[in-house]
Amino acid sequence: MNPHLADLLSVLQLEQLEDRLFRGQSRDIGSAQVFGGQVLGQALRAAYATTEGRIVHSLHAYFLRRGDFTAPIIYEVDRSRDGHSFSSRRVIAIQHGEQIFHMAASFQVPEPGLDHQLPMPDCPAPETLPRLDDVPLELREQLPQAVRRLIREDMPFEFRLVQPIDYAHPVREAPRQDVWLRAIDVLPDDALLHQCLLAYVSDYHLIGTAMRPHGICMATPGVVVASIDHAMWFHRPVRVDDWLLYSMDSPSASGARGFARASLFNRQGVLVASTAQEGLLRVVAG
């Protein structure tokens, strides 16, 4: 397996300290704090460790403080309820004696039911689009660290943008974007693992969608962003080692916050998951 993807899998393997207590390690991906998607994936893994025979169908999380990637994160799971069909879990992430994150997740015994979905947008195939990290070296070195971490070559996922971003000269565009994504190598047939990895990668690009109508991006001087909350709904089985279309739109930005929502489709047009996120979105005068 690709070493960068294998390293991510090792980060998602938590150490069990007690019955409902787990410890996770972090990686420095070039940002000032722990990547929010990592905490989402680890928290979901911790919640899964306390359930059996049920699959996650939704999660709702809040990012409370910046995580320190030089220190381990402790995850405490509360078994809120185990019903006939559904289980509810609450996960608290702790560092340096303080909560940095909390999440509620719901799990369900698989069962048949009514089935419909919205159609997938008509987008070019991922093979026809350049990789996000196909940026000339001279331009890459001029970009802020927050952007360089999105386009670095050692990522466990690859991204292909349907609507490309000119980081040096962003322009006002419609508040939507479509991004093809997938893991960079084949993964084991483990449904739990694929859901945790989908939670991890879902933290990319959402708030960037809220910047598009304002002609700014992560590289714009004075732009300050941070995830505030994140929600996911898992509709159908998913594999993250095959192409997924992340179709995003931003209905609103106000009060120094940007809101975005998204649908995730597999290559066959099946809607596998939905997400929504609100994040801090400030433009500070220089």
- Mean pLDDT of all residues in 64-82: 95
Is 95 in contact with 74 (CB distance < 8 Å)? yes
Is 67 in contact with 26 (CB distance < 8 Å)? yes
Q: Coil, helix or strand for 77?
A: strand
Angstrom distance (rounded) from CA 217 to CA 30: 17
Residue whose tokens read 């994150």: 101
Residue whose tokens read 């403080």: 65
Residue 50 burial (C-beta neighbours within 10 Å; 0-12, 13-18, 19+): middle
- Mean pLDDT of all residues in 111-138: 88
3-110+130-283: what fold?
A: Porin (2.40.160)
What pLDDT score was predicted for residue 140?
A: 65
Known active-site residue 203: yes
Angstrom distance (rounded) from CA 183 to CA 221: 31
Give me the chain's average pLDDT, please. Answer: 93
Q: Among the options 87, 95, 227, 247, which is catalytic?
A: 227
What pLDDT score was predicted for residue 132?
A: 80
The per-residue pLDDT for range 229-272, each reduced to its tens digit, is 999 999 999 999 999 999 999 999 999 999 999 999 999 999 99
Provide the whole-model pTM: 0.94
Whether the predicted pLDDT of 139 surpasses 80? no
Closest among 94, 77, 106 to 19, alpha carbons compared: 77
Whether the predicted pLDDT of 45 surpasses 80? yes
Q: Where are the domains of the chain?
A: 3-110+130-283
Known active-site residue 263: no
- Mean pLDDT of all residues in 65-70: 92
Known active-site residue 42: no
What pLDDT score was predicted for residue 169?
A: 84
What pLDDT score was predicted for residue 6?
A: 96
Whether the predicted pLDDT of 36 surpasses 90? yes
What pLDDT score was predicted for residue 286?
A: 64
The per-residue pLDDT for range 91-106, each reduced to its tens digit, is 999 999 999 999 999 9
What pLDDT score was predicted for residue 61?
A: 98
Whether the predicted pLDDT of 119 surpasses 70? yes
The per-residue pLDDT for range 207-234, each reduced to its tens digit, is 999 999 999 988 888 899 999 999 999 9
Is 241 in contact with 235 (CB distance < 8 Å)? no
Tokens of 40: 């989402």
Q: Among the options 26, 33, 203, 263, which is catalytic?
A: 203
Tokens of 47: 């919640």
The per-residue pLDDT for range 50-61, each reduced to its tens digit, is 999 999 999 999
